[in-house]
Amino acid sequence: MNVYETDEEKAEAIKAWWKENGLSVAAGIALGLGAVFGWRAWMSYQDRIAQQASAAFEQLIATAQSGEVEQVQAQADQIDREFPNTTYAALAAWVRGRAEVDAQRLPEAQAALRLALDRAPDPSLKRLTALRLARLLIAEQAWEEAAAVLERYEDDGPFRPEFDALRGDLVAASGQIQQARAAYQRAIEGGAIQANLLQEKRDDLPPSS
C-alpha cells in the first residue's frame, strides 16, 4: 500500500520536504560543484607550477654545463625558494652539489646534498642522494657522519649493493678488513655498478689478522 494515496498528497508531501530540506540540498550541490571546479583550478595551478619549475631546471642544467658555479648556486637557490615542494627542488640541489664538487668546494657540496636529501619527496631519490652524500663524506674522511647516513638510508631494496660498496669503503678505512671484504663481496654479488673496481678493492685488502 502506498503511503500517499493521491497525486495531490504526493505533491504536498514533496513541497513540505523541499521546504524543510531544500536549502541543505542546494548547499550540498553548490559545495559539490565548488569542489569539482576547485579541484580543476588546483590541478591547473599545479600544472603551471610544474611547467615553470621544469623550465627553471632546464636553465640550471645549461648553466651547470658552462661551469659557472656561482650562477648554478643562485639558480638552484631560486628553484628551492619558488618550488620547494616539487621534485625539482631536490634535483636542483643535486645539480648544485655536483657543481660544488667539481669546483672543489666540498663543504658547500655537502650542504647542497643535505638539502637535496631533505627536499627529495621520493624514497628512491632520497637513497640516491644519500649514496652521493655518503660517498662525499667518506672522501672527506668524515667517518662518523658517513656511517650515520648509511645506517639511516640503506635497506634491502635495489640500491643495497651500492650501499654495501660504500660500507666496504667505510669499514676498510677503519681497519676492519674482514667486514670490508664481506661488504665488497655482497656488493659484487648483488650487481653493484662498479663491480670490477670493487673486486680490485677487495683483492687489495691486506690479509685478515
- Residues 35-46 have pLDDT tens digits of 554 545 445 545
- Residues 185-201 have pLDDT tens digits of 999 999 998 999 999 99
Predicted pLDDT of residue 7: 55
| pTM for this entry | 0.72
Compute CA distances 49 → 32, 41, 73, 205, whole Å. 26, 12, 21, 51
- Residues 130-144 have pLDDT tens digits of 999 999 999 999 999
Q: Are 184 and 201 in contact (CB under 8 A)?
A: yes
